[in-house]
Amino acid sequence: MNRDHFVELYDYTDWANRRVWNCVMQLSQEDFEKHLTFSIGAIHIQCAHTMGVEYWWLGFLRTGELNFITDEELEQYKDRELLRKRWNEVTETNKAYVASLTDAELQRLVKPSFWDENEQPISVAQALTQVANHSTDHRAQIMAMLHVLGGEGVGQDFLEYLHRFASSEG
């Protein structure tokens, strides 16, 4: 895996996040905040959590610092405009980091301080893969939750992204 692989992976992640977000925006505020007994609760929490993991992990890879989204921020992210604005900022920062990757950076080993002593470090490449897969997992959960709420769904398959990208439909 090289930088170009991760640039494409994070372009895809952004594309898929935005497609799912467009479905989320069709919800009423009540449905956006409605607690569901699936995964981690309301769709607003799913979205904020997904953005938050993208934020802290890539921030940790860039700086070595752990900065998590606070409970106060989570409460503020019931405001979809604020959440989308912050997610856009996170995405742009993350994409800039990914674009700067070198082979040495991708191989560098990292270990967040909260991991158990017996947890082994992972490479930056593995961490980046984890974050992208984590986002895919939560997008799928959001799609299931949208279905339960009677909302519209959308495809987020990587092949769909490739076909749209190749044909310039974006």
Residue-wise pLDDT for 11-49, tens only, equals 999 999 999 999 999 999 999 999 998 788 899 999 999
Dihedral over Cα of 86, 91, 92, 98: its sign: positive
What CATH number is given for 3-166 in this structure? 1.20.120.450
- Per-residue pLDDT, averaged over 63-81, amounts to 90
- Give the whole-angstrom CA distance, residue 65 versus residue 93: 15
**Strands (DSSP E) along the chain, which ranges?**
109-110, 122-123
Q: pLDDT-derived band of residue 145, with 50, 70 and 90 as boundaries?
A: very high
| Domain regions of the chain by residue span | 3-166
Q: What is the mean pLDDT of the chain?
A: 93
**Crossing angle of the two packed helices 80-99 and 3-24, in degrees rounded to 10:** 170
Neighbour count for residue 157 (Cβ, 10 Å): 11
Q: pLDDT-derived band of residue 54, with 50, 70 and 90 as boundaries?
A: very high
Instruction: State residue 106's pLDDT score.
Output: 98
